[in-house]
Structure 1
Amino acid sequence: MRHFGKTLSASLALVTMAGAALAQDDVLYVAGPGGSIEQALRDTVFPAFTEETGLRVEYVAGNSTDTLAKLQAQAGNQQIDVAMIDDGPMAQAVALGFCRDLDLGDIKDDIYDIALFPDGKSVAYGLLGSGIVYNEEYFADQGWDAPTSLEDLTDEKYAGKLVIPPLNNTYGVLTLVQVAKMRGGSETDIEPGFATFTDEIAPNVLAFEPSPGKMTELLQSGQAVVAIWGSSRAKALADTGFPAAFVYPKEGGAVIGTGICPVAGGAEKPEALTFIDRILEPEMQVAIAKTSGLAPVNRKAELAPEFQVGMPYGEEQINQLVTVDWPTINEKRAEWNARWTREVER
């Protein structure tokens, strides 16, 4: 009887494991951002994908840092099939071996070159640009011209009215790099960026603010009238009726590509590639753009004029965007963060 009991227990365990494995086979696990992007995916991409493949999508919402941390925690036994991460953390994910080769097939010809990440393992499914948002009404009342350059951030008239995200935020690090380039530096020569921030920009800064909610509050309350932010964030603020205007500086707006990759080291389901293909199709690109404010990466995605506002839409605006060397930035970022805290936000 004792032997029979052990055999029965072992059999039940095998059945349970087999059932769990079968359940996992019927699910595609996707980790990506919450909010408007998640809603767009649930409304458009998920139903079409499930109808085509028979797989249910299990979505794990979180910011890019959260998703990268999950990939690191699951290294060697990945539970996530598809990861959706901003381009900076995506470069880290690729470098750590968390993404596998991505063959886009014919649809690749329809994707803007700036969205095709050079690693060959990930691609941007949406674009936004980093630039300057300002209170158009306040500027008019003061008789100020609209800002046109990152050089304007050094203007003393902005003292106590300027907000910039800190260096541990994507917008913050992009601004440091772009300011360094403006003053003759680069990702490998960041000194001009630090010097300009420390001596000329930081004295004007009201707050180094990472939170979108707090940034919105500072602008809406009038405490801040100009800030560094993303095109989609500025559009969302303007959509509330606030007189927010957004410009790409003449140095070029640094592109932020919201990336996606098939995860390596797990089940490596072929349907992961199907999911990515569906997200890149024109119809899905339009739906995501309307809901989230992310600009389409597919040239064939056509948006009505009212949905184009506040995003880098079309060839002309896409060409205003510039890329940065994320692998170099990621290699130096911890060192830069420590220095930023010590020298700029002191």
Structure 2
Amino acid sequence: MKFKHLFLVASLLSALGVATTASAQTRTLYVGMNGGSLEKNYTSYIFPEFEKANNVKIVVVAGTSSDIIAKMQAQKDKPQMHVVFLDDGVMYRAIGMGLCQKLNETPVFKEIYPYARMANDQAVGIELGIVGIGYNKKLFDQKGWAAPTSWMDFADPKYKGKVVFQSISTSTFGLHSFLMLNRQFGGTDKNVDPGFQKWATTVGPNVLEYVSSSAKISEMVQTGEAAIFPLTSTAIANLKVKGIPAEFATPKEGGVLLMTGACALKNNSEQDLSQKLIEYLLGVSSQTKAMEYVNTIPINKNVKVPDAVQAKLGKVDQLMKHINTVDWDVINEKRNDWNNRWNRSVER
């Protein structure tokens, strides 16, 4: 009996030892990203598969892109985060500050759109959106208006007092749309004078309100105040899910590429695992889940986009046709000057 008792005790201690060792081997990855629905969808549907396969726990550090890059700068010498998701404009700033580790060449890179590879692979796009024209379908039907077809529709006098435009100083949607209009006026990303000079006689008289973010647009669509506004097909899909009568139109001049990028922080303590997570996020499995739960256009070309999804997000082939990109190196260099000029001459 004594021998049997000792055997049971030894077995129990051995089992506890194994459990303790297994627990010690579970690593933690800290991922900086936007909170809210994005965090919920990733933690519920996308991260668990990676966590299970790699015996890792992913902890989200929630915040806006501006919050996240501020933390990256403050922790530059000893990063507390391992991977971050940033809007593409902010990501290029982070790259310029030397905060991102160059990603390893991986087979999945051959499956993604080439423009998703950012700055010699120091970051990579994991979510794809297209900025175009959102419009109030209910109001358009009431007025008998055809759907908008061009960036220049923002200057159509029939929309006087019915355009809602995001401030370029606070919104990428607003900035993208201003730059597209600037191109129609003869400007370039390096020369925004035409956009500023012609605004007061073209788009400006039509604007009811300049908003700091897109959150207010849903309310203004429901009240009938907003007729057209810059937005992404993804954002429009999210409004439609809530029963808000919004539709998306791809301008004939093309929409504007908007990405959320991911980078592994330079000098972080889990370099191999960080790179492995980013590789996973680019794969067909996670890209399919992002399409289903986050309403993003897949950045992996091998993802099959069902008709039901295309009905919600728009025809992918059409969205990707004649897509425009902007020069973030120029933008980040000139952004403060542009913001000041916008505040003085447009939103004064």
Q: Same fold per TM (> 0.5)?
A: yes
Q: Counterpart of 1:39 in 2: which secondary structure?
A: helix
What is the match of residue 3 of structure 1? none
What is the match of residue 130 of structure 2? 129
How far has the Cα of 1:308 moved from its partner?
2.4
What is the match of residue 339 of structure 1? 341
How far has the Cα of 1:312 moved from its partner?
6.0
The answer to whether residue 322 in structure 2 is matched with residue 320 in structure 1 is yes
What is the match of residue 200 of structure 1? 202
For the Cα contact (< 8 Å) 1:128–1:312, is it kept in 2?
A: no
How far has the Cα of 1:142 moved from its partner?
1.4
Mapped partners of 1:305, 1:36: distance in 2: 24
What is the match of residue 277 of structure 2? 275
What is the match of residue 120 of structure 2? 119
For the Cα contact (< 8 Å) 1:246–1:310, is it kept in 2?
A: no
For the Cα contact (< 8 Å) 2:46–2:290, is it kept in 1?
A: no
For the Cα contact (< 8 Å) 2:234–2:313, is it kept in 1?
A: yes
Structure 1 residues 43 and 298: CA distance shift in structure 2, 3 A: same
Q: Counterpart of 1:329 in 2: which secondary structure?
A: helix
Cα root mean square deviation, aligned: 1.9
Mapped partners of 2:96, 2:311: distance in 1: 35
The answer to whether residue 76 in structure 2 is matched with residue 75 in structure 1 is yes
List alignment gaps of at least 5 residues for structure 1.
1-21
Identity of aligned residues (%): 34
List alignment gaps of at least 5 residues for structure 2.
1-22
Q: Counterpart of 2:203 in 1: which secondary structure?
A: helix
TM-score by length of 2: 0.88
Q: How many residues align?
A: 325
For the Cα contact (< 8 Å) 1:37–1:291, is it kept in 2?
A: no
- What is the identity, as a one-letter code, of the residue corresponding to 1:161? K
Query: For residues 153-211 of structure 1, what are the alpha-carbon distances to aligned partners after superposition, in whole Å with 9 as ceiling and x for unaligned?
Result: 11121111110110121011111211111122111111111123233212211111133
For the Cα contact (< 8 Å) 2:164–2:210, is it kept in 1?
A: yes
How far has the Cα of 1:30 moved from its partner?
0.5
What is the match of residue 57 of structure 1? 58
Mapped partners of 1:324, 1:279: distance in 2: 24
For the Cα contact (< 8 Å) 1:286–1:296, is it kept in 2?
A: yes
The answer to whether residue 99 in structure 2 is matched with residue 106 in structure 1 is no
- What is the identity, as a one-letter code, of the residue corresponding to 2:128? L
For the Cα contact (< 8 Å) 1:37–1:288, is it kept in 2?
A: no
Query: For residues 48-100 of structure 1, what are the alpha-carbon distances to aligned partners after superposition, in whole Å with 9 as ceiling and x for unaligned?
Result: 22222222111111221111111122122211100100100000000001101
The structure that has the greater radius of gyration is 2
- What is the identity, as a one-letter code, of the residue corresponding to 2:42? L
TM-score by length of 1: 0.89
How far has the Cα of 1:266 moved from its partner?
2.8
How far has the Cα of 1:39 moved from its partner?
2.2
Mapped partners of 1:148, 1:313: distance in 2: 15
- What is the identity, as a one-letter code, of the residue corresponding to 2:284? P
